[in-house]
């Protein structure tokens, strides 16, 4: 009966107000993290990922409030969260960094350190913007992101080798996936031997019969 009474007792309005402010602060700082991600991302960000960053920031702040100073609650939450399995593969290491960015901000807010959360959010954001500006101004002009599709025939994956050997000094396969039509989509990070020959390289790939949907982007 005592437990039921405690459960039904409403918390003081001051406590509710403080918790609401924490959630609003986590939302605001999470939104700022998303803006930094959008400003520094080379491609159009997925809305599901940007929404997830904000939700994570708010949820982890709630988790920190629930845990408080209780070690037992911390272990219970770790055990409960360990059953979750994430199937989405993260291709860009920057995405992982931004996930931890949002988690760290949420932890600071939930732990009752709003000044640390605000300072870290803006200071880290400014540093990320600075690094992005540095790469944009002083980056290597002959490095590109290359995407193209091949037929499902395993032998087709060697048809582009001659063009690669002629025009590239560096290549790294970032992603290989099967599209709905059965085609194989390859994503490379490539570095041209001569930056001004990117159009020649693009045309040489386009002339190969089995290579389709070519995209060459400067990152």
The pLDDT tens digits for 91-107 are 677 888 898 899 889 88
Any idea which fold 143-218 has? Alpha-Beta Plaits (3.30.70)
What was the pLDDT predicted at 208? 84
Domain coordinates in residue numbering, the chain: 12-138, 143-218
User: Would you say 173 and 157 are in contact if contact means Cβ atoms under 8 Å apart?
Assistant: no
Asked if pLDDT for residue 207 goes beyond 80, the answer is: yes
More confident residue, 69 or 102: 102
pLDDT tens by residue, 137-193: 665 556 788 888 888 776 666 778 888 888 888 888 888 888 777 788 888 888 888
Task: Band the pLDDT of 27: cuts 50, 70, 90.
Answer: very high
Asked if pLDDT for residue 42 goes beyond 70, the answer is: no
Report d(CA 123, CA 119) in Å as an integer. Answer: 6
Asked if pLDDT for residue 11 goes beyond 60, the answer is: no
What was the pLDDT predicted at 212? 83
Report d(CA 189, CA 170) in Å as an integer. Answer: 8
Q: How far is CA 165 from CA 3, 157, 171, 202, 203, in A?
A: 73, 14, 10, 14, 15
Q: Enter the pTM of the model.
A: 0.58
Instruction: End-to-end CA distance of the chain: give it in Å, rounded.
Output: 64
Closest residue by Cα to residue 96 from 161, 153, 52: 52
More confident residue, 93 or 39: 39
């Amino acid at each position: 009966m005592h437990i039921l009474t405690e459960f039904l007792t409403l918390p003081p309005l001051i406590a509710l107000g403080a918790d609401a402010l924490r959630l609003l602060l986590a939302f605001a700082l999470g939104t700022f993290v998303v803006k930094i991600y959008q400003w520094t991302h080379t491609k159009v960000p997925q809305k599901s990922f940007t929404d997830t960053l904000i939700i994570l920031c708010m949820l982890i702040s709630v988790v920190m409030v629930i845990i408080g100073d209780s070690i037992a609650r911390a272990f219970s939450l770790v055990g409960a969260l360990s059953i979750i399995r994430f199937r989405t593969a993260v291709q860009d290491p920057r995405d992982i960094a931004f996930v931890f960015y949002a988690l760290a901000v949420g932890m600071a807010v939930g732990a009752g350190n709003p000044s640390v959360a605000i300072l870290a959010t803006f200071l880290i954001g400014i540093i990320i913007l600075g690094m992005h500006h540095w790469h944009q101004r002083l980056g290597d002009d002959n490095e590109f992101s290359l995407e193209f599709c091949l037929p499902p025939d395993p032998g087709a994956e060697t048809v582009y080798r001659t063009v690669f050997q002629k025009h590239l000094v560096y290549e790294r396969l970032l992603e290989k996936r099967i599209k709905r039509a059965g085609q194989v989509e390859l994503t490379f990070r490539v570095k041209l031997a001569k930056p001004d020959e990117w159009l020649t390289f693009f045309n040489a790939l386009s002339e190969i019969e089995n290579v389709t949907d070519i995209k060459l982007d400067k990152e």
